[in-house]
Structure 1
Amino acid sequence: MKFKKFVYLAFSIITLDIFINSCASTPHHLKYLPYSAPSQNPHYASKGSLYVPDSPMANLYSDQRAFAVGDLVHILVSESVNAVESISNQTQRSSTFNNAISSFFGLPSSTLRNLGVGANSNTQQKAQGTESQSGVFTTTITAYVKRVYPNGNLLIEGHKIIYLNNVERVITLRGIVRPQDIDNTDTVPSQDIANLEILYQGHGYLVNGSQPGWLARFLAKILPF
């Protein structure tokens, strides 16, 4: 009797724990890119001359494209993802086993003929699956040059926060770009950015409405099939 009560109590506690965990919503932790003020290039005194060596206009043959730490770069983000994955697996196995008894305590062979042992086994398994994903992401974002590498490539970072109809959207971007890929308006397409990382997150009623309800989450955890 005590054992039945213990089993019933344990089952009730486990069921209650699963129910509470399924009702709990996943907390939203939006990852904001910490902004660190870029270091400025050192300024040197001109010693009475009108020519300043580190001035942006020091080289009359260069343009004003972003090339220094702290400069701003406009990024045209246009990324599309199309992926199709197909898996097919087929396994087949067949075996046959026969065993006859030739003698057994002097019984006649006509009687032993019916005492043979035989078995046939045939196993076949077939599985097939297909997964398809597609998506298009288009936006514009302004980033700043965080670092200039020795070969001249630029490490750029930027993020954008948008509040619209009680929905919060956060876009974070990071990558490496060549100065020659930046046009004269300080604009570069996302296709020309190496090691591109784009993080797009959302939080609000619209995002929460796309998630399954508490009962659906509860049933998804306890159903064995």
Structure 2
Amino acid sequence: MKHVHLVCILLALGACSRAANIGQPPTLTSPRDSEEFIAMTNPPLEIPVDSGRPEAAASLWAGTTSSLISDRRAATRGDILTVTIQIDDRAEISNSSGRSRAADDNVSLSQMAGIPQRLGDKLPEGASFDNLAEASSSSSYKGSGNISRRDKLTLRVAATVIDRLPNGTLQIEGTQEVRVNYELRELTVSGFVRPADIDRNNEIQYDRIAGARISYGGRGQITDVQQPRYGQQIADILLPY
């Protein structure tokens, strides 16, 4: 009985959370609650300009970001770069297999120290050692399969360097949320990149991101309708057919 009450309570809580969204658009996540904001507000300390050399602050060749020769590509924690996602993958797999086998065995015992002749008279009518055993078998198998899949996605998203590893590799993370009416589209990308793979425009292709994690989904009324109900999901897990 306790288990029934627990299930009822869980269902009621789920219904309450859904009821809170009735007539309301999906809420956007605050950008200040992300790892990106933490990385931007806690950058590494910059090398201070030599106070004993005032001319160093006005030099065009200083190593700061305001210098004419400075590298504007993302390199440290808190820097921003653009990730270009252009996925156009297609996979087609087709295979077939077949197997057949046949066997036929015939055993007879016509001579064995005269024993078959002596025992032949004692066998039932129609029985003989000349056809002691005969067996045959056959089997066949045939299978085929076909897989066809295509994924196409073209997106651009700004990502933030949230950490710089000891070997110089940059860990990046980017999020993007777009709300249209009552549907919210979410895009997230994360992974590890080498500074040398970032081009002059401060952009990097998704296929140069190691351990890339790209997610494109959403939440809202349309997504909610496309999802099966909780009861149906539970039934799909429990029912063996």
TM-score, length-scaled by structure 2: 0.63
How far, CA to CA, are the matches of 2:164 and 2:206 in structure 1?
Answer: 19
Match of 2:51 among 42, 47, 50: 47
Q: Quick one: structure 1 residues 100 and 40, their matched pair in 2 at CA, closer, same or farther if it must change by over 3 Å?
A: same
Map of 2:65 onto structure 1: 56
Partner of 1:112: helix, strand, or coil? coil
Residues 1:94 and 2:102 aligned together: yes
Q: What residue is the counterpart of 1:68 in the other structure? A: 76
Select between 132-141 and 150-159 the one with higher mean Cα deviation: 150-159
Give me the CA root mean square deviation. Answer: 4.0
Q: Deviations over 1:179-220 (max 9, x none)?
A: 343334322232333332212232233234444679987589
CA gap of 1:147–1:211, structure 2 versus 1, over 3 A, is closer
Deviates more, 1:138-147 or 1:60-69: 60-69
**Residues 84-130 of structure 1: CA deviation (Å, up to 9, x unaligned):** 23343333232223344755451589943597542211011111111
1:161 counterpart SS class? strand
Pair 1:81 & 2:85 matched? no
C-alpha distance in 2 between matches for 1:182 and 1:108: 92
Say whether 1:192 aligns with 2:190: no
Distance 2:190 2:177 in 1: 15
Q: Which has the larger radius of gyration?
A: 2
1:117-128 equivalent positions in 2, closer than 5 A: 117-128=133-144
Question: Share of identical aligned residues, percent?
Answer: 24
SS in 2 for 1:207: helix
Structure 2 unpaired stretches of 5+: 1-13, 18-28, 110-115
The two structures have a TM-score, normalised by structure 1, of 0.67
Q: 1:108 & 1:192 partners in 2: Cα distance?
A: 83
CA distance in 1, matches of 2:106, 2:215: 65
Q: Check if 1:35 corresponds to 2:35.
A: yes
Q: Is the 8 A contact 2:83 2:156 kept in 1?
A: yes
- Structure 1 gaps, min length 5: 1-23
Q: Aligned pairs, how many? A: 198
Residue 106 of structure 2 contacts residue 131 of structure 2 at CA under 8 Å; is this kept in 1?
no
Task: Give the 3-state SS of the residue equivalent to 2:207 in structure 1.
Answer: helix
C-alpha separation in 1, matches of 2:157 and 2:79: 14
For 2:238 and 2:108, locate their aligned partners in 1 and report how far apart those are by CA, in whole Å. 53
